[in-house]
Amino acid sequence: MTSAEEREEGGPGPGSEGPHGLEGRHGGVMDRALDLVAFLREHCPWDAAQTSRSLIPYLLEESHEVVDAIRADDPEALEGELGDLLLNLAFQVMVGEEAGIFDRESIVARMEDKMRRRHPHLFGLGSRQDWEVLKAKERTGSARVLDGLAKGLDPLLKAHRIQERVSGVGFDWSDAGGAWAKVAEELEEVRVALEAGDGDAVEEELGDLLFAAVNLTRLAGAHPDTVLDRANRKFHRRFDALEDLARERGISLPEATLEVLDGLWEELKGRRTHGAGDPNP
């Protein structure tokens, strides 16, 4: 959680016996994580000083590292990163308990209640319904459809969630065909803005194009973050291969013309087409 320079350790370790050890405390897996955090906050000045806000950077970092391990298909790394993420979640729970804001029982109870509402068919509470439709029904009073979206969401993910929300109240294309037509329409509007040399219009139309492309991705049954990450990784692999090929042929990238580099790129794409190179397109 922290570096040696940031923390001054003192007292017995969490596995030791005695009044400050963890032996004999709660036995559940989540309780063990919470007991570990309680122990750290009792005996480590750095951990004791942390607040929900001060821990945000670590929570975000560990979340990204979990995603990296999943995408790398690395079970060993994933196991470790999930442990780090669990530790950060346990810190948030413990800080809330200490402040009397909530406790582990209230958190789990809210989670259970929500899952029962969202899966009524599994708990004998009604028929199966669309997730976003159920969420829309839960909103009361003056709550708007798009209220409650996390402010810190990446714009790409936020576009996806906005579209999911409005789809839940019926504002959606019936299939990907309508979304495709919208992408074509927005693409043409970008072309017109570019030809007019209107910078503000270009920026606005490019935003509309990206938003429409996210909608097309959703209606095609994919997630924009997943498909863009795949495209990024594919380009990364191919450009690494381009650099290797250029080095083999004594070509300097900064000095090479676009025509030369494009020729190398097309050569590499041709190798993939014929079964060589880029094993994970």
Q: What is the pLDDT of residues 194-230, one digit of tens each?
A: 999 999 999 999 999 999 999 999 999 999 989 999 9
- Average pLDDT on 42-56 reads 95
Distance CA 67, CA 82 (A): 10
Tell whether the model's pLDDT for residue 55 goes beyond 90: yes
**Would 11 be classed as within a structural domain?**
no
**Would 102 be classed as within a structural domain?**
no
Distance CA 57, CA 152 (A): 12
**Would 64 be classed as within a structural domain?**
no
Report residue 9's pLDDT band, with 50, 70 and 90 as the boundaries: very low
Tell whether the model's pLDDT for residue 141 goes beyond 70: no
Judge if 232 and 209 occupy the same domain: no
**Would 26 be classed as within a structural domain?**
no
Cα–Cα distances (Å) from 222 to 13, 67, 148, in that order, read 47, 17, 23
67 closest CA partner among 223, 237, 218: 223
pLDDT, tens only, 105-129: 999 999 999 899 889 889 998 888 8
**Would 106 be classed as within a structural domain?**
no
pLDDT at 4: 40
pLDDT at 279: 43
Distance of CA 150 to the CA centre of its chain: 12
Q: What type of residue is 52?
A: S
Q: Which domain holds residue 199?
A: 173-222
pLDDT, tens only, 149-179: 888 888 999 999 999 989 988 899 989 999 9
Q: What type of residue is 73?
A: D
**Would 212 be classed as within a structural domain?**
yes
Q: Whats the size of the chain, residue-wise?
A: 281
Report residue 62's pLDDT band, with 50, 70 and 90 as the boundaries: very high
Classify 74 as helix, strand or coil.
Answer: coil
Q: What type of residue is 62?
A: E
Boundary residue ending a domain (183, 207, 222):
222
pTM of the complete model: 0.62
Contacts of 220 (CB under 8 A, 6+ apart): 176, 179
Judge if 179 and 203 occupy the same domain: yes
Judge if 199 and 239 occupy the same domain: no
Judge if 231 and 246 occupy the same domain: yes
pLDDT at 18: 38
Kindly state the DSSP code that residue 121 receives in the 8-state scheme. Answer: G
Cβ atoms of 235 and 241 closer than 8 Å: no
Q: What is the DSSP string of 119-148?
A: -GGGTTSS----HHHHHHHH--TT--TTTT
Looking at the structure of the chain, the number of domains it has is 2
Tell whether the model's pLDDT for residue 6 goes beyond 90: no
**Would 167 be classed as within a structural domain?**
no
Kindly state the DSSP code that residue 275 receives in the 8-state scheme. Answer: T
Classify 27 as helix, strand or coil.
Answer: coil
**Would 122 be classed as within a structural domain?**
no
Cβ atoms of 224 and 163 closer than 8 Å: no
Tell whether the model's pLDDT for residue 20 goes beyond 60: no
Distance CA 34, CA 28 (A): 10
